[in-house]
Amino acid sequence: MNQLTGELLKAALALPPEARAALAGSLLESLEEGSDPDLESAWAAEIAKRVNELDEGRVLAVPYPEARKRIVGDS
């Protein structure tokens, strides 16, 4: 990471959570230019499948703090 990137990261981390989320979303979108249409289609199908599972009650959503605890073991 160069000095400019480090300074940008430091400034970004100082933003409120909503602003950091918006910035992260914008950065991710910028990486999607020229993405693979087959990959996009596969993701759309997977998302639709998961939404359907939630809607039908076949799976239960887990709040993010609980999911994070399960994944990384935070207390």
Distance CA 34, CA 62 (A): 33
Q: Encode pLDDT of 64-75 as tens digits.
A: 999 999 999 865
Domain count along the chain: 2
Do 20 and 44 lie in a common domain? Answer: no
Which structural domain, as residue segments, surrounds residue 12? 1-33
Q: Encode pLDDT of 43-55 as tens digits.
A: 999 999 999 999 9
Distance CA 43, CA 40 (A): 5
Do 52 and 67 lie in a common domain? Answer: yes
pLDDT at 33: 74
Do 73 and 39 lie in a common domain? Answer: yes
